[in-house]
Structures are given as C-alpha cells and as structure tokens.
Amino acid sequence: MADTTERLQPTPSELNHATDKSRSYWQALADEVIAPHEQGTIPQNITLHDMLGQVPAMPDTPLDIYQISLGPDSTKKAILTAASSTMRPTDDAACGVGETLKVTRAALLMGVRAPISCNWTGASFGQEAMADDGSRGRPNYVGVVSLAWSYILSVRLLELQKHDGAEAEYTNSTASWCSSHDVCAPGSASTINIGNVDAHAARWWAAILAPGRGWKVIITQQGNEAYFAPWSLSLELDSCPSIVWADNGPLPQDPTIYPPPSSRTALEFLVGICLLHDLGSQFHAGFAAALTFPTHSHYQRAVELPLPFSNSNHQRYPPSEQTTTDQLAIYESLSFYLTLSCNHSVIMSSLCGSFWEPSIPCNLVTPWLHPILNEVSQRPEILNTPGRYAEIVALICGIRRPRLSSLWIGAAISGLIPKITALVKGGTPPLDPNGYPWTGCPQGFMDLAGSGPYLYRNPSNQNLIRRVDIWRLLYLPVLEDDGLYYESLPFSPWEPVGQSIELNCALRVRAHRLCSRHRLLYEHWTWNLLDGSKVQDRGFTSVRRQNSPRNFLVFSKSAPSDNARPIMPLAQDQEASREASIAVFEWVLANHEGRPPSEPIYDDEWIAHCTAYDDDSDLGMGIEPTDEE
C-alpha cells in the first residue's frame, strides 16, 4: 500500500491499485469455493468445537441477572447477566505494566420477553445432499434440526440456571400429523417422517414443528412478566410442515402424561431422526444455525430457514452405534456453547471480523471490501440464484477463519449473513474485546501486538511511533491516572494510518518507547452469581491453535482476467473508508487528549469535525471496561 503518512484520503491511483489487489484476492477465493461446491449442499465434516477457544462454561448455579429495557414496548425488555473478563499485559521490567490488570465488564443475554419470528423462506444450504455412497436423494432437514436444537439449548439453560419461576411447557399449538397410511405420505416437501417413535417423542416433534409457538421455556419471571430463553422462536403459519407418524393412534395431548422432555432426552429424539434419514452433517450445521438465534433476537431480525426437502426414494441405512456416540458427545460441551451463543456481541464481532485484514489501513477499507460485497454477488454462477451468495460468503469466510467455518455455515442457514455484510459495509462493524480470546480469531488491529521496536527515526532525525502502535499502547492499563480515558476499544477494526512524533504522544505512550512488544493476554472470565459470590473460568481450552488470516498481498499476485468476473465501479463516496477513519481517529480525539500539533492529517475533512464519541448508546448491552491493578 502507498505511504499516506500526512494525508488521510488516498489518491485515485492508490484507490485503483488497492482495488485491483483486493479484486484479485476475493475473486480467486470465490473461484476456490464455487468450483467444488454444488449449490445448496451442506459441507461435510463440520467441526464445531474449533470455535470454542477460551469460551467459559455456563455455570450450574443461578447467575446474578437484571432487567433492562431496549425500547418503549414491553416486549423489548430483556434479562442480562453481568460478568467480566480479565487480561494482563505481557511483562516488561522497563515499565512495570505487567503488574496491572485490565478488567472488562460484559453482559450476556439470558432471557427475552418475546420470541423471534421464524419462517421457511431461507434459500442457503437447503437442497438435497449426496449420501455417503455418492447417491442422490438424502433429504435436507437442516431447518428442522435447527428448530430441535433451539429447544435443547433453551431447556439446557433452564436446567443449569434454576431461577424462580423457570419452567418448560407445551402450548396448545401442534403441527398437523397423520399416519404413514394416510394421504400425506413421505416425499412431499411439507412433510416430516418421524418414523416409528413412541408417543412421547411424537408429542415433542408436534411442538417443535407447530405454527406459532408449540413450546415455551421460561428462564425467569419478574413480577407478572415471563422471560423466555433467547433461542425462542415463533414459526409463521405459512408452509409449516406436517408430521408423518408410523403409529396409528391419536397424537397425545395430556402434558401430565407426556411432559416436555429434558434436554438430554430431546437430543436423543433428534439423533433418532438424524439416523433415520441419514442426515449426516445436517446435525452439526443445524446446531450451528441455532447458535445464531440469540443474535437474531438482539438485532430483531427474523430467522429464515430452508424449507424441508425430502425424497422418498432415498435409501436409508441401519443406525451406526459410532455415529450415535459422536452425536451425543456434543451434549458434554453444551455449557460452553450456551455461553458463546448468549453473547451476541462476540458472535457478531467474530463473524464481521472475518472480513478484517491486518494490512488494510482505515483509509483503504472501501476498495478492500468492494469486490466481495459488490462484485462477487454479480457473478453468473451466483446472480439470480437465491441463497447462493450467502453460501459463497460463508465458504470464503470459513477459509479465512477456519475456526469459525461451522458458525459461518450456521449463519447462512439462519439468514444472518445479510445483516453481517451490512454491518461490515458500513466500515464500523461491532467489536468485542473477548472475541479474539474466546474464538482464537483476531478481529481488529488491537488484537495483534505488531512487530519490531516501537520507536524509530525518520531522515530528519525525529523519533517517531506508528499510530497503530500508539493506539495499542493507549489501551494498556496504566499505573497512575493521567486523566485520559482509553478504556473501550476503538469502534473500528481498521488501523490508523501514518505515525506521530514521539513528543506529541501522551506520557502513557512514551513510557513504553523502549519496551519490547506488549500485548494483552487473556487470563479468565468471572461470573457474578446470584448469592453475591464470583466464579472464575479459564475457558474451554487455555491453548489456542493459531489460524493466521490469509494475506491478500501474497495469496494472489495477478489481477483476474476472466471476463465472466464482473467489474463494478468503486463507490465515489468511500463510505466505509470514511466511517472507519472517523471512528478510529475519534477514539483519540474524544478522550481528552486533543489534536497533536504539527500533524496535518488531523486537518483532513474526513476527521476535522469529529465530535465526542457517545459510549452510552448501547443501552447496557455493550462493553463497559475498567482498569484495575
């Protein structure tokens, strides 16, 4: 990239060069995933636990919860639990910062007043799949599997938390059903064959596939208000599938005889259907989709699942004992997945972070994102094929962040990708400081330590520090209060351009000018329990497998020449670059330090009129960090 030390806005030549480089990278990645991937099929060998990193487990004891309102409507209320993460800077004898801690408060979504709307209009990963023997015809029930997992996750949270008024119950709404001898025989796109299961399982499936709400899981009751598990859904009435049940008896209704099952029993019911229909990776893909449901709830975005697709000619095989064992093994890690799923901030930060690239500065965000957000969707293999673009984005981002590949498949299945790309396109996607330690995937320049000495000299013999390093050092905890407030992350993952003269830097920065590289290391998560005590949790694993982002500067060195790849003009307004630059520079300008003297970049029209950043806009759902020794 060209040097833009003392100016922020790139020249047309720099924009064209950056766009060509980006186009080469993103289009090559698109080629890589389009060629082998058949439209609508779910990838095999989905590995879920890679996403867990240092995610803490949901405790088996009630957490301290509190109520907030996200709007004037009573249905906009939510129940949160307070927690915090603790990080420690790497030690350096020259400055003593290793003796300090950075404690960041966070809030997890535990209950909602109203379920999120769900429909069968999804088009991603919704076609028939290949059977293990290579034959066609394996049904696609991934949307059904997702609905089943929403119940399992909800009940498991209830079982672990045990708050006052918590209960699971069926409603009067059930799916329509018939026996295998009736006219609604298997093979219809709107029927689900649940096989020869007992009445307990049949009643559960009738609730899972019921229009509206077939079941309720109440996490707690505050006065006369019930708060439901954050995976709660309400199925729209149109196109609800019917159940085909081998038993000829009536569908049981008495909840005293057939009450809602435990999470373990419900999982066994789900595994039975997966084995009956040889669903393979749909079991894990549906689970990944369900993990995104609380994020849908936070953004008030309907879940859009693919309509079930079945083929009566598909050859079924006897259940495998090993397959059953593998599928049930996921239950042992559910407490970790509950925590990750309830933290919509980490989920969205991690997914949006898959577009972040370490070498892209804030003023070149627009040309970097332009090919993937505007051109790839117009390729002939994608254009006019519903759901195809979301599939390709999920597969590309899965290559860029392998640990999150299964979560990306889930986001495509649930219909979350349009929201993700919209947030990324704005230049300031949400960031969570726990995203990197929890998932092992860096999501912004503050997650990396950089390399080399902090201080260097220019030809004029001035001591300089790169701005990206200044920003990192400002975020470190301090030994003495200096009246500056760099407690939250910059609201942009893209690094600032250029460098500053050492004498223009705050004392807390100059104190590290001779230090070796510092970075914040995650130590533990702290849960606040209902009884006033606290529990520390070091997470699923304390040893992360590093997955470095694929750098576009070395991945592909030549611009694409294929005429089938559409080339669209770059947006003239440079919105993403402008917003990213404003956000990352405003972080400094709003923290009582003021504009450094003799640095012309601060006179650029993009940031010349920056106002103080309002960190109270998240209504309690965001991050409130503090420094503690």
Of the pLDDT bands very low, low, confident and very high (cuts 50, 70, 90), residue 182 is low
- Tell whether the model's pLDDT for residue 187 goes beyond 50: no
Q: Are residues 136 and 98 in the same domain?
A: no
pLDDT in tens, 492-512: 999 999 999 998 888 889 989
Query: 248: Cβ–Cβ under 8 A, 6 or more apart, which residues?
Result: 179, 181
User: Does residue 329 fall inside a structural domain?
Assistant: no
pLDDT of residue 1: 37
Percent of the chain exceeding pLDDT 70 equals 85
Beta partners for residue 215, in sequence order: 170
Phi, psi dihedrals of residue 537, rounded to the nearest 5°: -140, 125
Candidates 10, 8, 124; CA nearest to 368 is 10
pLDDT in tens, 132-174: 455 456 789 999 999 999 999 999 999 999 888 899 999 999 9
d(CA 437, CA 522): 6
Candidates 56, 101, 627; CA nearest to 335 is 56
Sheet of 242-245: strand order equals 177-179, 242-245, 191-195
- Across the chain, mean pLDDT equals 85
Phi, psi dihedrals of residue 553, rounded to the nearest 5°: -70, -25
User: For the purposes of burial, counting CB atoms within 10 Å of the CB of 273, is it exposed (0-12), middle (13-18) or buried (19 or more)?
Assistant: buried
- Tell whether the model's pLDDT for residue 58 goes beyond 50: yes
User: Does residue 23 fall inside a structural domain?
Assistant: yes
CA distances from 390 to 30, 142, 352, 377, 400 (A): 12, 16, 14, 9, 15
d(CA 167, CA 229): 10
pLDDT of residue 303: 97
Query: What is the mean predicted confidence (pLDDT) over 421-449?
Result: 95
> Up-side HSE of residue 308: CA atoms within 13 Å toward CB?
26
Query: What is the mean predicted confidence (pLDDT) over 282-291?
Result: 96
- The answer to whether 83 and 513 have CB atoms below 8 angstroms apart is no
CA distances from 470 to 418, 515, 520, 625 (A): 34, 13, 15, 19
Q: Are residues 98 and 119 in the same domain?
A: no
Output the DSSP codes for 346-363.
Answer: HHHHHHHGGG--TT-BGG
pLDDT in tens, 463-482: 999 999 999 999 999 877 77
Single pTM value for the model: 0.91
d(CA 219, CA 230): 9
Most confident of 4-8, 342-346, 512-516: 342-346
Structural domain containing residue 233:
114-322
Q: How far is C-alpha 179 from the chain's CA centre? A: 40
pLDDT of residue 428: 95
pLDDT in tens, 324-341: 677 778 999 999 999 999
Largest Cα–Cα distance of the chain, in whole Å?
90
User: Does residue 336 fall inside a structural domain?
Assistant: no
pLDDT in tens, 377-393: 999 999 989 999 999 99
pLDDT of residue 179: 63
Q: Are residues 162 and 41 in the same domain?
A: no
pLDDT in tens, 518-554: 999 999 999 999 999 999 999 998 444 445 555 554 4
Out of 51-65, 280-294, 337-351, 452-466, pick the least confident.
Answer: 452-466
User: Does residue 267 fall inside a structural domain?
Assistant: yes
- Tell whether the model's pLDDT for residue 4 goes beyond 60: no
CA distances from 255 to 174, 258, 269, 368 (A): 13, 5, 18, 56
pLDDT in tens, 403-413: 999 999 999 99
- The answer to whether 511 and 94 have CB atoms below 8 angstroms apart is no
Query: How many structural domains compose the chain?
Result: 2
User: Does residue 109 fall inside a structural domain?
Assistant: no
Q: Are residues 6 and 125 in the same domain?
A: no
- Tell whether the model's pLDDT for residue 613 goes beyond 50: no
Query: What is the mean predicted confidence (pLDDT) over 301-313?
Result: 84
- Tell whether the model's pLDDT for residue 301 goes beyond 80: yes
pLDDT of residue 181: 55
Q: Are residues 365 and 318 in the same domain?
A: no
Query: What is the mean predicted confidence (pLDDT) over 244-267?
Result: 83
Three-state DSSP class for 482? coil
For the chain, counts of helices (H) and of strands (E): 18, 18
Percent of the chain exceeding pLDDT 90 equals 60
For tokens 């402008």, name the residue.
578
d(CA 439, CA 518): 21
User: For the purposes of burial, counting CB atoms within 10 Å of the CB of 232, is it exposed (0-12), middle (13-18) or buried (19 or more)?
Assistant: buried
- The answer to whether 286 and 407 have CB atoms below 8 angstroms apart is no
Phi, psi dihedrals of residue 189, rounded to the nearest 5°: -70, -10
Candidates 165, 154, 149, 157; CA nearest to 61 is 157
d(CA 407, CA 60): 25
Q: Are residues 453 and 576 in the same domain?
A: yes
Sheet of 303-306: strand order equals 233-235, 116-122, 303-306
Beta partners for residue 108, in sequence order: 81
- Between 137 and 2, the more confident residue is 137
- Tell whether the model's pLDDT for residue 5 goes beyond 70: no
User: Does residue 121 fall inside a structural domain?
Assistant: yes
Output the DSSP codes for 46-101.
Answer: ---GGGTTTPPPPPSSPBPEEEEESSSSGGGEEEEEEEEEEEEEPP-TTT-GGG-E
Q: Are residues 443 and 568 in the same domain?
A: yes
d(CA 339, CA 47): 18
> Up-side HSE of residue 352: CA atoms within 13 Å toward CB?
28
Q: Are residues 572 and 617 in the same domain?
A: yes
Angle at 43 between CA 40 and CA 44, to 5 degrees: 140
For tokens 């209060």, name the residue.
481
User: Does residue 534 fall inside a structural domain?
Assistant: no
pLDDT in tens, 353-381: 999 999 999 999 999 999 999 999 999 99
Query: 566: Cβ–Cβ under 8 A, 6 or more apart, which residues?
Result: 375, 378, 379
Neighbours of 449 (CB within 10 A): 13
Q: Are residues 299 and 440 in the same domain?
A: no
Of the pLDDT bands very low, low, confident and very high (cuts 50, 70, 90), residue 309 is confident
Domain boundary among 322, 351, 373: 322
pLDDT of residue 161: 94
pLDDT of residue 592: 63
Q: Are residues 169 and 245 in the same domain?
A: yes
User: Does residue 384 fall inside a structural domain?
Assistant: yes
**For residue 293, what is the enclosing H or E element?**
helix 293-299
Beta partners for residue 179, in sequence order: 245
pLDDT of residue 188: 43
- Tell whether the model's pLDDT for residue 580 goes beyond 90: yes
Out of 39-43, 125-129, 366-370, pick the least confident.
Answer: 125-129
d(CA 490, CA 87): 17
Query: What is the mean predicted confidence (pLDDT) over 56-69?
Result: 94
Q: Are residues 122 and 97 in the same domain?
A: no
Candidates 502, 504, 492; CA nearest to 585 is 492
pLDDT of residue 595: 76
Sheet of 455-457: strand order equals 455-457, 463-466, 499-501
Q: Are residues 204 and 351 in the same domain?
A: no
325, two tokens: 């064992």
- Tell whether the model's pLDDT for residue 625 goes beyond 50: no
pLDDT of residue 427: 95
pLDDT of residue 324: 66
- The answer to whether 497 and 8 have CB atoms below 8 angstroms apart is yes
Give the CA radius of gyration of the chain: 26
Beta partners for residue 222, in sequence order: 225
Three-state DSSP class for 440? coil
**For residue 194, what is the enclosing H or E element?**
strand 191-195
pLDDT of residue 258: 86
- How far does the chain reach from its first CA to its final CA, in angstroms? 40
Query: 447: Cβ–Cβ under 8 A, 6 or more apart, which residues?
Result: 436
- Tell whether the model's pLDDT for residue 117 goes beyond 80: yes
E strand spans, 206-340: 215-222, 225-228, 233-235, 242-245, 303-306
